[in-house]
């Protein structure tokens, strides 16, 4: 499975309904959001998505999901961007919940990946995808 890393910088983009979206997901409702994507030529529905909180502390992975659309063009702030729709399976509020921090992501083999990308929707190195998923699942389910 291919996986991609999407950045969220709350300084540049407010997520006013983050807590409502978390509650919706926890209640078993489907949560989809569209996001800009740099790797628009390779990303496909069914690929894995991870979201990293950047810009301010805490920095690290706070959400994951599955790509649910083909890339499409959208106009935003006078510019055209490639975007995709992602169906979230985990969503945490970095201001209120522990997240998978950069300290953990910058250990072992995972050090080979850039975890604070300049563009959203970059490819995660194929050789790291299984390890990242394991670390993410261990973080979410520590027992």
Please name which of 17, 15, 37, 14 lies closest in space to residue 121, comparing C-alpha atoms. 37
- Give 77: exposed, middle or buried? Use CB within 10 Å, 0-12, 13-18, 19+: exposed
| pLDDT in single tens digits along all 143 residues of the chain | 899 999 999 999 899 999 999 999 999 999 999 999 988 899 999 999 999 999 999 999 999 999 999 999 998 888 898 999 999 999 999 999 999 999 999 999 999 999 998 889 999 999 999 999 999 999 999 88
User: What is the rounded CA–CA span in Å between residue 13 and residue 76?
Assistant: 12
Asked if the 3-132 domain carries CATH number 3.10.590.10, the reply is yes
Q: With the C-alpha atoms ordered 85, 102, 11, 94, is the resulting torsion angle positive or negative?
A: positive
Given a contact cutoff of 8 angstroms between Cβ atoms, the answer to whether 81 and 24 are in contact is: no
The pTM assigned to this predicted structure is 0.95
Where are the domains positioned within the chain? Answer: 3-132
Quote the tokens at residue 117: 């990308």
Candidates 30, 34, 25; CA nearest to 6 is 34
């Amino acid at each position: 499975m291919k996986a991609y890393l999407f950045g969220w910088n709350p300084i540049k983009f407010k997520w006013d309904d983050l807590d409502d979206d978390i509650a919706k997901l926890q209640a078993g409702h489907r949560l989809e959001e569209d996001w800009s994507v740099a790797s628009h030529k390779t990303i496909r529905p069914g690929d894995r998505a991870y979201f990293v909180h950047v810009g301010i502390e805490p920095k690290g992975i706070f959400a994951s999901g599955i790509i649910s659309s083909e890339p499409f063009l959208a106009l935003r702030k006078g510019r055209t961007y490639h975007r995709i729709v992602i169906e979230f399976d985990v969503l945490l509020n970095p201001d209120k919940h522990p997240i998978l921090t950069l300290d953990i992501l910058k250990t072992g083999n995972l050090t080979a990946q850039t975890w604070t990308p300049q563009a959203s929707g970059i490819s995660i190195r194929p050789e790291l995808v299984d390890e990242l998923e394991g670390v993410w699942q261990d973080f979410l389910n520590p027992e």
